[in-house]
Amino acid sequence: MPPSVQTRREKQKAELRSELVEAAHKLVQEEGYEGLTIRKLAKRVGYAPMSVYSYFADKQDILFALAEDAFETLARRIEEHPSDDPIEALQAVMTEYAAFGLGNPNEYRTVFMTEKTKLPEGRSYEDMEKGNPAMKVLISRVEACVAAGKLQGDPRAIATMLWAVGHGTISLLITFPFYPFGDPQAFVKRMCDFTLATLSTQNVPPLTDTPVNC
């Protein structure tokens, strides 16, 4: 096959996959997890269901694709808020993460609160890590705080703890809207400030004995 033909086909395939991911975003925003089916996705883009299966093996594969796309969007939003103060730059990560989750509750619940029982076919955890620019930004901003003496310890461990607090906070706000948390964004900031204040008083060790490359 001539290189030009192969390149054109690869481009068309990438464009269709992008179209499917965009349609999947809209489906979960409108209908949540139950609304995301291969049949509905195919109908929305005007293709036969079997065509969708050539891009995604199953619903979980679609969820991983949505997560990767969401992390790219989140990373771009975070990068729009740089700061010379490393703590403020780190707080911006949490603020944007919360704004993303609270602004898209159906999608957040579907993509980030649905159990993932296996990795996508042919993908390793390391591959998934490379495809998560939002986590890279979070870790890099934690590293800046460590370099500035604002935090101490293992950057990945600190980043993971902040992620856990952020995810837990957003999940509660989404699933228990009747609870008197007060203003959602103010509550997120309170949790972030509390966690950073606590972490600043200790040297945080790695999560595991086996080093993990960022």
**pLDDT tens-digit profile, the chain (214 residues):** 556 656 777 787 888 889 999 999 899 888 888 888 889 999 998 888 888 888 888 888 888 888 888 889 889 999 988 899 999 999 999 999 999 999 989 888 888 888 766 666 666 656 666 668 999 999 999 999 999 999 999 999 999 999 999 999 999 999 999 999 999 999 999 999 999 999 999 999 999 887 565 4
Distance CA 125, CA 102 (A): 27
Strand partners, 54: none
With beta carbons less than 8 A apart as the criterion, state whether 166 and 185 touch.
no
Amino acid at the residue 106: N
Q: Which two tokens stand for residue 20?
A: 């499917």
